[in-house]
Amino acid sequence: MTNKIDSGPIYSSKNFDLKATHDIADIHKRVNKLFPKMVLETIKKIKKGIKPKKQNNNLVNEVYRQRNEADGEIIWAKMNSLQVFNFVRAITKPYLGAYYYNQKKIRKKFINVKCQN
């Protein structure tokens, strides 16, 4: 353990494919299934004396705050279509979701959005 969040040595990591049909809820489900198995495997490896990988501290971020309502605004002038698509997928349930202003705040469900780059 270190005094900064996510800055300590790495004992285990896992990669998985992210498809255009996945949103943050899909990722939460996937990670929540992987995490308990990874913890058990890592404990076994630690007992066997594995050495962790040193983390690149240049990539360590400061603590991020919990998302709030203002984080969901789509800023059309600053985002291309792929960025909007990914933004919407990243902040759907369990978060509040994306919205935009057109004389008033508009928040719609974005279901099965297809994006071509």
Q: What is the structure's pLDDT at 64?
A: 66
The H helix count followed by the E strand count for the chain is 2, 2
Tally the domains of the chain. Answer: 2
| Single residue among 64, 81, 104 that ends a domain in this structure | 64
Where the chain has pLDDT below 50, the residues are: 117
Q: What is the structure's pLDDT at 34?
A: 93
Domain check: are 5 and 51 in the same one? yes
Structural domain boundaries enclosing 97: 66-117
Cα–Cα distance for residue pair 66/63, rounded to 1 Å: 10
Domain check: are 40 and 73 in the same one? no
Q: What is the structure's pLDDT at 74?
A: 94
Q: What is the structure's pLDDT at 44?
A: 95
Q: What is the structure's pLDDT at 109?
A: 64
